[in-house]
């Protein structure tokens, strides 16, 4: 699934409810999911990581949609040429 397809899927599932909650409230849920991912990483719970990464991506996607940002286009614009600072892949910044 492409990033754009995923973002549209998350919009179809959650955007109406998330928009009603507002950007600030939705951002707090995103931060909570990042915390859950952090705990899974720290504890080494690999069996939980897939779900936690997916949850963080879903909340990030809905925040981007609420802000009018196409994640795939934004990622392409910023990283397609490599590192945004040095334009190298891998990064050669010191």
* pLDDT by 10s per residue, the chain, length 94: 999 999 999 999 999 999 999 999 999 999 999 999 999 999 998 889 999 999 999 999 999 999 999 999 999 999 999 999 999 999 999 9
pTM of the model: 0.92
Alpha carbons 82 and 67: distance in angstroms, whole number: 25
CATH class of the domain comprising 3-79: mainly alpha
**90: its two tokens:** 């891998």
Asked whether 18 and 61 are in contact (CB, 8 A), the reply is no
């Amino acid at each position: 699934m492409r990033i754009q397809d995923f973002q549209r899927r998350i919009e179809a599932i959650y955007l109406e409810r998330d928009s009603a909650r507002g950007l600030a409230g939705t951002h707090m849920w995103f931060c909570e999911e990042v915390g859950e991912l952090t705990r899974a990483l720290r504890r080494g719970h690999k069996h939980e990581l897939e779900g936690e990464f997916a949850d963080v991506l879903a909340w990030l996607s809905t925040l981007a949609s609420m802000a009018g940002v196409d994640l795939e286009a934004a990622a392409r614009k910023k990283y397609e040429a490599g590192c945004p600072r040095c334009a190298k892949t891998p990064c050669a910044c010191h």
